[in-house]
Structure 1
Amino acid sequence: MSILLCPCDSGENLKACCGLYLSGKAYPSTATSLLRSRYSAYATGNLTYLHKTWHPDTRPNLRAQDLVTQWTHLQIIRVKPGLKHSVAEFKALYRDGDQKCEVREISLFKLYRKRWVYLQTCADWP
């Protein structure tokens, strides 16, 4: 039996790491753990989890065909934690055919109904 490593690059196995969140057995207690688990949701195609962790005011109408990207690596660059808002800058690598590509983003997370949710992408570091 092989152990599947978590896509978030924590080095932990998926079940013990983001799998707890993706399965609904737990909910991330920090914006950083939410960022990691959302990356894992993209990597595993977990549309339900992405919908649940997106602020309702900014949530797009994602479909399964929007989640076909082959994500390969997550690097969290910096995090500015807060009590009600948190900001994180990260780089996510993916494959497009034989080409290696990356997305770099600054994301804003908000405490909403006592849970962290993704709100939006920021243009600049605050």
Structure 2
Amino acid sequence: MSQSACPCGSGKPLDECCDLYLSGRAYPNTAEALMRSRFCAFARGDAPYLRKTWHPDICPELAPSDLEAQWTRLEVIRSKQGLKKSVVEFRAWYLQNDIEHSMHEISLFKLYKKRWVYVEPLPGWP
């Protein structure tokens, strides 16, 4: 197996980080780990994993064009882990027409059937 660094920016090898989740060998036990694995899933175009980790009441239909961006790096700015809901603020960079852009989001995650799932972006976080 590859010893390349995980694209999520954790500094861990891919095999010991997000690949555990994307391959189905484990499920993230924190909202931040889930958010990092979702970044990797977007980078790989892994729609099944994204659907599995999105709250089922809110999960949109994912078109192939939704997964075409070339995601290049991730920075977790801060995260607050709660018992039933958690918040992760991050910045993700992607290439569009060979120009690097970034998006900033504050994401809400909730426990659903004992697993963390992505719910929605939040407008702000104190």
Which range, TM-score by smaller chain?
Answer: over 0.9
Matching residue of 1:33: 33
Unaligned runs of 5+ in 2: none
Task: Give TM-score, length-normalised by structure 1.
Answer: 0.94
- Aligned residues with identical type, % of pairs: 56
Aligned partner letter, 1:44: R
After the TM superposition, list the runs of 4 or more consecutive aligned residues in structure 1 that deviate by more than 4 angstroms.
none
Is the contact made by 2:7 and 2:14 (CA closer than 8 Å) also made in structure 1? yes
Q: How many angstroms does 1:2 deviate by?
A: 5.8
Q: How does 1:35-74 map to 2 (within 5 A)?
A: 35-74=35-74
Q: How many angstroms does 1:3 deviate by?
A: 3.3
Task: Count residues with an aligned counterpart.
Answer: 126
Aligned partner letter, 1:14: L
Unaligned runs of 5+ in 1: none
Equivalent position SS for 1:102: strand
Is the contact made by 2:75 and 2:90 (CA closer than 8 Å) also made in structure 1? yes
Task: Give TM-score, length-normalised by structure 2.
Answer: 0.94
Q: How many angstroms does 1:4 deviate by?
A: 2.9
Provide the aligned C-alpha RMSD in A: 1.4
Aligned partner letter, 2:41: A
Is the contact made by 2:42 and 2:67 (CA closer than 8 Å) also made in structure 1? yes
Is the contact made by 2:2 and 2:15 (CA closer than 8 Å) also made in structure 1? no
Matching residue of 1:122: 122
Which one is further off, 26-35 or 10-19? 10-19
Aligned partner letter, 1:3: Q
Is the contact made by 2:5 and 2:14 (CA closer than 8 Å) also made in structure 1? yes
Matching residue of 1:3: 3
Aligned partner letter, 1:104: H
Matching residue of 2:112: 112
Q: How many angstroms does 1:57 deviate by?
A: 1.2
Which one is further off, 60-69 or 28-37? 60-69
Equivalent position SS for 1:41: helix
Q: How many angstroms does 1:5 deviate by?
A: 2.2
